[in-house]
Amino acid sequence: MPKTQYNTCVRYGKAYSRALRAHFLTQTALLSFVLQLVFDSPEISPMRRKLLDMCRKVYRGSARVLREADVILLAIQERGRTARLWFQFIRQVELIRLFLRAERVGDWDLHLHAVREMLPYFHAAGHLNKSAQLYLQLMTSSASRLPPAERDALFGGGFCVRKQDKLWSGNFSDQTIGMDYMRLPKGYRGNNHAGQRYKEYYCSLGEKYAIYRTVEVIRALENFCGISVISSYQHTDIRDARINLNADHKEKFKNWLAQHNPFDKPADQLVCLSSGLVADITVSCDKAFMISASMAKYVGRAFSDITLHRKEKAVPLSAMNRSISVQGAAVQVNPTQLFHRIIIAQKDVSDLEQHFA
């Protein structure tokens, strides 16, 4: 991707939105594919009539049909390791949806619930950030100690940043920094500028505050001139063009899944759908949910009592062909991350030769 195009994607949050859209479309295609398996299954033909009557039964308080559907989905999930992995992906994307909903509408309780549910998955992935545990503990207990006015503001959506007083316009702080702080100064200086060296594009503390103070000046000039360089990307997903594009891409995902069905693989095999690579017994990414459930015991403990070990994390499929031996232990290497660090560390293009020698 060209440098200027990449900077634009970062400033406007496009790279973030595109990544989320890819996960959401994949989850939607998977759920649609699983539902088709449910309908086509010969042993549950009465299910068709029951589903037609589901709304009426649920309205009357009967959840029997939903329980039967859960049993069928559990049976599909237990068909093998590959099926279990993709059902796990569906569950993880659902957590992302909960978190985004909490940030967009300003639901504090849902925000804490989403963070609490995501932390064990972070542990299973090897992201052992104890400050996240500390954040959850402090935020859970601090609400009761706040003055009434501040507590009402917190539960009223005051923890997220809003550019407009509209529904679904909330934003969490990390993305706000990237979209607001870097957009108005046009990314001339700051963390998103892809210059040659660190000292050339990491602005000093004084420059950061100077740019921050000019934000209001730039906005005042825009209002005076009657122009604006800020566009709203909050509701693009409900436009007809985006809906039609999503439907088209979802069908492509479904067609691809029909050719690479994750639910008909042998029960004892974990298969990469795109390459056909079969995992060995050391790969445990399909058990990440069970690993995360075992790590959930750390949630709510005292900060000094939390002990996390990377050896307990789930081993991904990529570890089979991206691992090196360091002092007798297998260490997974991310080629993309390694290349990025080499690019940052180099002082000149000629330095690349010694890095790859």
Q: How many CA atoms lie within 13 A of 211 on its CB side?
A: 19
**pLDDT per position as a tens digit, 191-211:** 444 443 333 334 444 444 455
d(CA 314, CA 317): 10
**pLDDT per position as a tens digit, 119-136:** 888 888 877 777 777 888
**47: CB partners within 8 A, 6+ apart:** 38, 39, 41, 68, 69, 72
With beta carbons less than 8 A apart as the criterion, state whether 270 and 81 touch. Answer: yes
CB-based burial label for 199 (10 Å; 0-12, 13-18, 19+) = exposed
φ, ψ for residue 165, nearest 5 deg: -85, 65
pLDDT per position in the chain (357 positions), as tens? 444 443 444 444 567 778 888 888 888 888 888 877 776 766 555 666 566 566 555 555 555 666 777 777 788 888 888 888 888 888 889 998 898 888 888 888 888 888 888 888 888 887 777 777 788 888 888 777 888 888 887 787 777 777 666 666 666 666 666 555 555 544 444 444 444 333 333 444 444 445 555 667 777 777 777 665 555 555 566 677 888 888 899 899 889 988 888 888 888 888 888 888 888 888 888 888 777 777 666 666 666 777 777 777 787 777 776 666 667 666 677 777 777 777 777 777 777 777 666
